[in-house]
A and B are shown apart, each in its own frame.
Chain A
Amino acid sequence: MLFSEATTTSFFSLAPWLVFAPVIGLLINIIIGGRFSEKLIGAVASVASGATFIVSLLLAYSVWVGHGQGESIFLAEWIHVGSLSLDWTFRVDSLSTTMMLVVSGVGTLIHIYAIGYMHEDVRFKNDPSRFRRFFVFLNLFIAAMMILVSGDSYLMLFVGWEGVGLCSFLLIGFWFEMDTLARPSWANSNAAKKAFIVNRIGDLGFLIAGFLMFWYLGSLQFDEVFAAAPELADTQPGIIIAITLFLLVGVAGKSAQIPLFVWLPDAMAGPTPVSALIHAATMVTAGVYLIARSAPLYNLVEGAQSVVVIVGAATALFAATIAVGQYDIKKVLAYSTISQLGFMVAAVGMGAYVAGIFHLVTHAFFKALLFLSAGSVILGLERGHHLLAHAHNGGAADHDDEEEVRRTEPAEVFDPGDMRNMGGIRKTMPVTFWLYMIGSLALVGIIPFAGFWSKDEILLDASLKYPAVYWLLSTAAFFTAFYMGRQIWMVFFGTARHEAAANAQESPKIMTVPLMVLAGLSILGGLLNLPFKGFHNLGHWLEFTLGEVELLGLDPTVAGLSTLLALAAIFISWLLYGRVTLKQADRDPLKKPLGFVFTGMENKWFVDEAYKAMIVDRYTDVCRFLADVIDSRFWHDWFHEKLIVGTYNWFSNTGLNYYADQKIIDAFANGLGRTTKYLSASVRRIQNGFVRSYALSVFLGVVLILGYLILK
């Protein structure tokens, strides 16, 4: 039906298949996936995701052929109430196709990777039946993310927004009854709940922004909102500021910015492909996309833009410092993600939308690569650990026998994600090592990797518009290089601090091949938008949607300084971590020079603790007050038990039972019975059995009747 209108040059009518394809995939896996092998389940999901990527490609091609002319594809009517009319309409333009390509492209690679990863993960966690569930969730996420990026209105975007939030919740809590080390615990489900609840706060902001738009601008459709906004900005600029700031609250929730970033590190409880796909490459960038999409609103109010920039920059630096103090390989990357998201938010905040989106794209490549490689490292350690355990217990290592592996699970708790257990993996997992190196260099921003070009563009924009922010971001970039260097030295160089690391095994091809593709993209991603005349491909591409954008050249000062900073940071990290291999029990070398500062970094600056003390505990206090005093004591004990039940009991016992029932109704009934009894007892004596007596009665009757007849 939807194919028919597609011509060779215009594939716009395929847009709904962005959503249909993954939905069909997940339905297949739900309905008949139970009989599929793991490979087939993974293949179905990957093909569904790949179909989405192909549709995205065709749509992008259509936009390109049409000289940037986007199109809105109407699918179904949705809400038509009064002046509000919203439909399921897919908005295909250069911005949304960029997002589609990133999401479906990276998503497909991660799907393929996950076939290999989850195969082992479900076995280490002793529940292979969840393999299918994982891919259903992944496809659901792709569908929701496609709704998010292709929606033609804030409401449709919000549907996708909530959809990805749901998938995030489901996947963080994928191993909901155990912690990350597969011990029985509610740690993972708590992390999922934390992510969901923190996102609710952000979503409330988004909703309020939506309400304001509807109230003051009369619509939620993008074009109508943007068309009506300038007029409102003239008359009531405060409203636009409010809208943009409330949107920023939503962005802070979804893209893990200050003050709502706390959920993202905990979200690492999910399986690593989830961390890569949702919590690094795609979902968390939805906030950046939202700001870029709302560019016409943000451009109207400079004050709000400043707030966005400050939030982004502060987040970038703040998270980068925390990343320095982390020991978990994924936690480092998580804070790195928050930091990089700060870069993007700062970029889009200062109006450098192209830079922001550019960094979004490259970041999706190299951060997905890093996460997946980290997953590969973790699995490698798991394999080594199991191998060891088996060798210790049974002698001959027979890894085909999964049951055997499970039974010989050592009692000792081994955290395969802890960098203090690693070291020297360069030798045992060479492919992963090189992939990780590429990702790290891209993240750190070493020329010519993708991260260099995108980060540099942001720094350049900042240096021109917000010098203070430039320094903040540069510092953050320095820390970025430092913590990545620290990670590399700790994980891959030196000697193994744990036997498992020494025995780590390389991952299978199904995992490494997608990583190689991502590595290629991380190397070449910069080609998208080189800062040279004629190479601003992404800039020109996005101009179709965002209007005229300033296309900057390469500033040698900025680029040189950032490269210098990065190299310096890597050198310092080598001095501290690489020169001498740490022992497992060693304290972190930074602890000594930095003292309590490092303690703060290690403990995430006690933000969780502060939130707990300031908000969560106060909230639970209020809840406890409400539950205990208001609900239990007042409402239940007093109002309900005493007032209502008591009154009712009194009324029924004393009033109705005693007075009404016993004294009136029963008395009446009993009296009736007693009277009858009494009467019959007395009348009974007439029935004395003497025939003459009866005859006398008859005689009396005769006399009386005759007397009546006479006297009548």
Chain B
Amino acid sequence: MSPELILFLVLSLVAIAAAIGMLISPNPVYSALFLVINFSTVAVFYLILGAPFIAMAQITIYAGAIMVLFLFVIMLLGAEKLAPGKVLPYQKPLAIGLAIVLMVESVYAVLARNPSDAEIIVPTEAANSIDAMRDLGIMLFSDYLLPFEVTSILLLVAMIGAIVLTKRAKGEQE
């Protein structure tokens, strides 16, 4: 049992636990906070995997901006507690059953059916250096220039869309 594996197992347990917590907590605020934990652990995984830029982006965008946005909305709409649903009585057991099946399937597929010899490469000093970041940037602005620009437009459209959707219609009373 190497320290990396122990670290992985601990972190993955935390991630899964946070995910389940998000899943089952009745209060959306709790769910949001559990999700922040989950995202944070995943950010740590990114660091382990030698992707510090993605990790930082994860922290700032996901765990930061997006989750703040979520909390804002929760605050805005009220942490409503929904009455137990009367419709779709079979939905929950069926979904849980299927989810278990899918989980078994996927884990089986990954671990047992066609396992890979590959192991995680511990990031070197160079990989975490500023040069690596520069490589990423160069690639982003050369090979992936078009998707990058499209993404910028997408963000612009999303921004405008969000404004339009939430804008109060003319003459509409609160």
Q: A690 to B87, Cβ gap below 8 A?
A: yes
A79 surroundings in chain B (CB, below 8 A): none
- Chain A residues 58 to 100 lying within 8 A of chain B, measured CB to CB, are none
Of A226-234, A236-244, A581-589, A694-702, the one touching chain B: A694-702
Residues of chain B with a CB closer than 8 A to A670's CB: none
Tell me if B101 counts as interface (CB < 8 A to partner A).
Answer: yes
Please tell me if the beta carbons of A710 and B95 are within 8 angstroms of each other in the complex.
no
Note all chain A residues with C-beta closer than 8 A to B91. Answer: 690, 692-693, 696
Who on chain A is nearest to B106 by CB? Answer: A706
Contact A696 B98, beta carbon cutoff 8 Å: yes
Residue ID in chain A nearest B109 by CB atoms: A710
CB-CB contacts of B85-107 with A at 8 A, as 1s and 0s?
A: 00110010011001101100110
Given contacts A706-B109, A710-B109, A710-B113, contact A693 B102 (CB under 8 A): no
- Cα A709 to Cα B113 in complex, Å, equals 11
Once the chains bind, are B102 and A702 in contact (CB under 8 Å)? yes
| Chain A residues, CB < 8 A from B94 | 696
Q: Smallest CB–CB gap between B132 and chain A, Å? A: 35
| Interface residue A703 (Cβ < 8 Å from any Cβ of B) | yes
Per the 8 Å Cβ criterion, residues 127-174 of B in contact with A are none
**Does any Cβ of A come within 8 Å of B108's Cβ?**
yes
A703, B113: Cβ atoms closer than 8 Å:
no
Does B108 contact A696, Cβ atoms closer than 8 Å?
A: no
Beta-carbon nearest neighbor of A706 in chain B? B105
Instruction: State which of A690, A696, A703 has its C-beta within 8 Å of the C-beta of B105.
Output: A703
Q: Is there contact, CB below 8 Å, between B105 and A710?
A: yes
- Are A703 and B98 in contact (CB-based, < 8 A)? yes
Q: Give 1 or 0 for each of A279-291: 1 = CB within 8 Å of chain B CB.
A: 0000000000000
Q: Which residues of B contact A693 (CB under 8 A)?
A: 88, 91
Q: Which positions 675-712 of chain A face chain B at CB distance < 8 Å? A: 688, 690, 692-693, 696, 699-700, 702-703, 706-707, 709-710
- With both beta carbons as reference points, the residue of chain B lying nearest to A699 in the complex is identified as B98
* Chain B count of residues within 8 A CB distance of the other chain: 14
Check A696 against B95 for contact (C-beta < 8 Å): yes
User: Cβ of A692 and Cβ of B88 under 8 Å apart?
Assistant: yes
A696: shortest Cβ distance to chain B, in Å?
Answer: 6
A700 nearest CB across to chain B (Å): 6
**Chain A residues whose CB sits within 8 angstroms of the CB of B88 once the complex forms:** 688, 690, 692-693
C-alpha gap A700/B94 in the complex (Å): 9
Interface mask (A563-597 → B, CB under 8 Å = 1, otherwise 0): 00000000000000000000000000000000000
Asked if B109 and A703 make an inter-chain contact with CB atoms under 8 angstroms apart, the answer reads: no
CA distance A707 to B94 in the complex (A): 17
How far does the alpha carbon of A657 sit from the alpha carbon of B46 in the complex, in Å?
A: 77
In this complex, what residue of A is CB-closest to B105? Answer: A706
- Complex Cα–Cα for A693 and B88 (A): 8
A706 → chain B closest CB, angstroms: 5
A187 CB, min distance to chain B CBs, angstroms: 101
B101 contact from A688, A692, A707, A709, Cβ within 8 A? A707
B102: which of A688, A690, A706, A709 is its contact (CB, 8 Å)?
A706
Specify which chain B residues have a CB less than 8 angstroms from the CB of A702 in the assembled complex.
102
Within 8 A of A (CB), among B40-88: 87-88
Task: Give the residues in chain B near A706, CB-CB below 8 Å.
Answer: 102, 105-106, 109
In the complex, which residues of chain B have a beta carbon less than 8 angstroms from the beta carbon of A710?
105, 108-109, 113
Q: Which of B87, B99, B105 contacts A707 (CB 8 A)?
A: B105
Query: How far is A690 from B89 in the complex, measured between Cα atoms in Å?
Result: 12
Q: Which residues of A contact B106 (CB under 8 A)?
A: 706
Residues of B within 8 A of A690 (CB): 87-88, 91
Whose C-beta in chain B lies nearest to the C-beta of A709? B109
Q: How far is the CB of B97 from chain A (nearest CB, A)?
A: 9
Q: Is the CB of A699 within 8 A of B113?
A: no
Contact A700 B98 (CB under 8 A): yes
Write out the residue numbers on chain B whose beta carbons fall within 8 Å of the beta carbon of A688: 88
Task: For the complex, give the distance between the alpha carbons of A688 and B94 in Å.
Answer: 17
A700 and B101 alpha carbons, distance in the complex (Å) = 10
Query: Inside 8 A of B102's CB, which chain A residues have their CB?
Result: 699, 702-703, 706
- Cα A707 to Cα B113 in complex, Å, equals 12
Kindly list chain B residues whose C-beta atoms are within 8 Å of the C-beta of A699. Answer: 95, 98-99, 102
Shortest CB-to-CB span from B85 to chain A, Å, is 9
- For B102, give the chain A residue with the smallest CB separation: A703
In the bound complex, CA of A702 to CA of B109 (Å): 14
Whole-angstrom CA separation of A692 from B105 in the bound complex: 22
**Chain B nearest CB: distance from A704 CB in Å?**
9
List residues of chain B with CB within 8 A of the CB of A707: 101, 105
Q: Quote the shortest CB–CB distance from B114 to chain A (angstroms).
A: 10
Q: Which residues of A contact B113 (CB under 8 A)?
A: 710
Query: Could you list 10 examples of A-B contacts with CB < 8 Å?
Result: A690-B87, A690-B88, A692-B88, A699-B98, A699-B99, A703-B105, A706-B109, A707-B101, A709-B109, A710-B109
Interface residues of A, Cβ cutoff 8 Å to B: 688, 690, 692-693, 696, 699-700, 702-703, 706-707, 709-710
Nearest 3 pairs of A and B residues by beta carbon: A703-B102, A706-B105, A703-B98
Q: A703-B105, A709-B109 are in contact. List 18 more A-B contacts (CB 8 A).
A: A688-B88, A690-B87, A690-B91, A692-B88, A693-B88, A696-B91, A696-B94, A696-B98, A699-B95, A699-B98, A699-B99, A699-B102, A706-B105, A707-B101, A707-B105, A710-B105, A710-B108, A710-B113
